[in-house]
Amino acid sequence: MRFYEYIFLATAFAASVCGCARNVSGDLPQDVIEPQFMNIIPEADGGYSLVSISPFDGSRDTISISQPLGRLIVTSTSYIGFLDAIGADSVIVGVSGGEYVCDSSVTAGISNGTVVDIGYDASPDYEKIMALKPDLLLTYSVSPVKSQFFSKLESLGIKTFIVNEHLERHPLARAAYIRLFGALTGNMAAADSVLKVVSDNYISLRDSVQGGLGANDAYASDKGELNAGDEKQGSGGTEGNTPKPRKILVNIPYKDQWFVPGQESYLTTLFKDAGGEILGAKAGSSVSGQISVETAYSLSKEADLWMNVGWCQTLEQLLSVNPLFEDFLRNIQRNASAIGYSGTKGCATNSCDTSASVVWNDNNRLNPKGGNDFWESGVVRPDLLLRDLIGIFRGEDNRTPIYYKSIK
């Protein structure tokens, strides 16, 4: 999607949420909306100093950008999402794991040879990297120890910059990395425009949950300006202004390990702002913890939704993972029926309808190889993710989610 198309859609999107502009920095505390691990400092010459802050030891790496860069190698698909949102994905000359890219312009470039797949950082093709002559290679860190990949790139004279957006805790802080890509490519005005629309949308939706509105009430274009004082009764146990949070079981085992995000993590924040509570999330932690299948089964007795179920696209696939999952599903369906969740009525006994929409996954936008746009364009658009989740949590089945789909 080109920048002018993006702004047109996003501006119309914002107009349906509220009739006036809002000051983003005034709506959320600065330490929430601003990234923890990146800083952008304007310079007198019109350029920028970009600072990458290590989440491990607080060390800082700084680069100066005095003019727009025209040749970037990116090692994460989320970087492609940011560049596409400001109409700058043409600067991409190299990617890592090209088969998982969703962006149509970049995949076309890979097909015609104008964009080169350099392989993965565990075993990249350094000759391809050198031949591309990039202005900068953007990558990420997962450890305080500098990897062999970084050391080799330094020895070859390849400039690198570490982008730690994947470790940010708040969805808007993560979305704010669009300004980094604006600074790199000379598109800061475009980046600021997109970020403002996304932030305003997100804040209005979050506030609508606190005020008892549903996603359709907050967004439907035919309803005009959002009235935060409205009180709506939606499915999911709404009482008064604020609905009770949905109790959510997340994930399935990965290589026999069941991970649950911490209470201070990106995903938990997103779910909380949509009116949900991730069961088993460790208090005060931003990293994922592990639970046993037995613990997950106990959590299923409290849950009324099951979200983000890994690779599964059908209930048959989900139930094939573990024989206990039929009991998991039965527990969750009964709980959902008890609160009047859409599609689960009549599930008070053991004879539950397995078509009931109590299982949802974030894989509605997969490419043919399994690349997931949730982690590409979705990172740039947490407002759309939030809208999806609010609709799901409220049982609003008159609107099709963008990134999520019901598993049946």
SS (H, E, C) 264-314: CCHHHHHHHHCCEEECCCCCCCCCCEEECHHHHHHHHCCCCEEECCCCCCC
Q: Write the single-letter amino acid at 28.
A: L
Task: Indicate the pTM of the whole model.
Answer: 0.84
Q: Could you tell me where the beta strands, DSSP code E, fall in 284-388? A: 289-291, 305-307, 359-361
Q: Band of the pLDDT at 324, cuts 50, 70, 90?
A: very high
Please provide the average confidence, as pLDDT, over all residues in the chain: 84
Q: What is the CA radius of gyration of the chain?
A: 22
287-315 pLDDT, tens per residue? 999 999 999 999 999 999 999 999 999 99
Q: Is 365:374 a contact under the CB 8 Å cutoff?
A: yes
pLDDT by residue (tens digit) across 175-199? Answer: 999 999 999 999 999 999 999 999 9
Read off the pLDDT of residues 340-362 as tens digits, 9 standing for 90 and up: 886 544 444 444 554 458 999 99
Read off the pLDDT of residues 10-65 as tens digits, 9 standing for 90 and up. Answer: 333 333 333 333 333 333 334 347 899 999 999 999 999 999 999 988 989 999 99
Please name the amino acid found at residue 111.
S
* Residue 125 pLDDT grade (very low, low, confident, very high; cuts 50, 70, 90): very high
Mean pLDDT of 132-160: 89
Inter-CA distances, 389 with 17, 208, 227, 268, 308, Å: 16, 13, 20, 12, 11
- Identify the pLDDT of residue 214: 56
Residue 310 region, left (φ>0) first, then alpha (ψ -120 to 50), else beta? Answer: left
What pLDDT score was predicted for residue 146?
64
The H or E element that residue 259 is part of is strand 258-260
Catalogue all structural domains in the chain, each as residue range(s) with its CATH number: 3-198 (3.40.50.1980), 233-406 (3.40.50)
Q: Which of 282, 236, 233 lies closest to 259 in space, CA to CA?
A: 282
End-to-end CA distance of the chain: 31
Q: Give the CA count within 13 Å in the CB-facing half-sphere of 326.
A: 5
pLDDT level of residue 213 (50, 70, 90 thresholds): low
Task: Kindly list the strands in the beta sheet with 60-65, ordered across the sheet, starting from the edge strand earlier in the chain.
Answer: 38-42, 48-53, 60-65
pLDDT of residue 28: 38
User: Residue 108 class from Cβ within 10 Å (0-12 exposed, 13-18 middle, 19+ buried)?
Assistant: exposed
CA 19 from centroid of its chain's CA atoms: 26
pLDDT (0 to 100) of residue 224: 29
Three-state DSSP state, 41: strand
Q: Which two tokens stand for residue 88?
A: 């700058």
Give the strands of the sheet with 136-139, arranged side by side.
116-117, 92-95, 72-74, 136-139, 160-162
pLDDT of residue 152: 92
Tokens of 370: 């399994």
Q: Residue 73 forms beta bridges with which residues?
A: 94, 137
Closest CA to 197 of 11, 388, 361, 4: 11
Alpha-carbon distances of 159 from 28, 82, 368, rounded to whole Å? 35, 20, 33
Residue type, 289: G
Residue 343, Cβ neighbours under 10 Å: how many? 18
Residue whose token pair is 């049982």? 395
Indicate the DSSP class of residue 147.
Answer: P
Interval 104-120 mean pLDDT: 97
d(CA 395, CA 378): 21
**Which range has the worst mean pLDDT, 33-37, 73-77, 234-238?**
234-238
Strand 359-361 and strand 405-406: pairing?
Answer: antiparallel
- Give the C-alpha separation, 255 to 165, whole Å: 26
Tell me what pLDDT residue 242 has: 59
